[in-house]
């Protein structure tokens, strides 16, 4: 709100005293349509002068160091996928079917259990057989109930 400033107070001193949003690199003080120089004496402005604080947008954070950390030996020996994580349908290929949805259920030993939503043509063995084997893939038909 409105307040008086001490004689000799600079725009920088006033700007530094303002609370600012997290990660905000700085603030500019605007009088009318003019941005004040940080060395300007704000106490020299007329009584009742209206100043506006214009907060600078946060700088983008550089996350590139994460790739370096993950490249260290032993860091990414395992990948962790949380239960019920939805995956892109392109991560699974099912011969003779269009994969519409994939949800990670759990890891059971060396086997990853996924819930698949498939579009298959009429007469497909995926509709008529309880267990269908493909190279690197076993599909079991059944009901899945969430815990």
Q: Which two tokens stand for residue 104?
A: 């990670």
Query: 3-class SS at 66?
Result: helix
Which tens digit of pLDDT belongs to each residue from 65-114? 776 766 665 555 566 677 788 888 888 888 889 999 988 888 777 777 88
Query: 3-class SS at 111?
Result: strand
Residue 40 near residue 34 (C-beta atoms within 8 A): no
Distances in whole angstroms, Cα of residue 50 to Cα of each of 1, 11, 61, 111: 10, 13, 34, 67
Which tens digit of pLDDT belongs to each residue from 36-66? 999 999 999 988 888 999 998 887 777 777 7
DSSP annotation of 97 = S
Is pTM beyond 0.75 here? no
Tokens 């020299």 belong to residue = 44
């Amino acid at each position: 709100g409105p307040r008086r400033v001490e004689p000799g107070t600079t725009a920088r001193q006033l700007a530094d005293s303002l609370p600012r949003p997290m990660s905000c690199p700085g603030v500019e003080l605007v009088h009318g349509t003019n941005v004040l120089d940080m060395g300007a004496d704000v106490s020299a402005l007329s009584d009742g002068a209206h100043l506006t604080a214009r907060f600078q947008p946060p700088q983008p954070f550089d996350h590139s160091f994460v790739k370096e950390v993950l490249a260290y030996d032993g860091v990414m020996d395992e990948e962790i996928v949380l239960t019920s994580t939805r995956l892109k349908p392109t991560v699974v290929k099912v011969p003779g079917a269009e994969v519409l949805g994939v949800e990670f259920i759990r890891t059971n030993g060396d086997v990853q259990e996924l819930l698949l939503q498939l579009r298959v043509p009429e007469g497909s063995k995926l509709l008529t057989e309880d267990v269908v084997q493909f190279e690197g893939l076993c599909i079991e038909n059944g009901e899945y109930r969430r815990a």
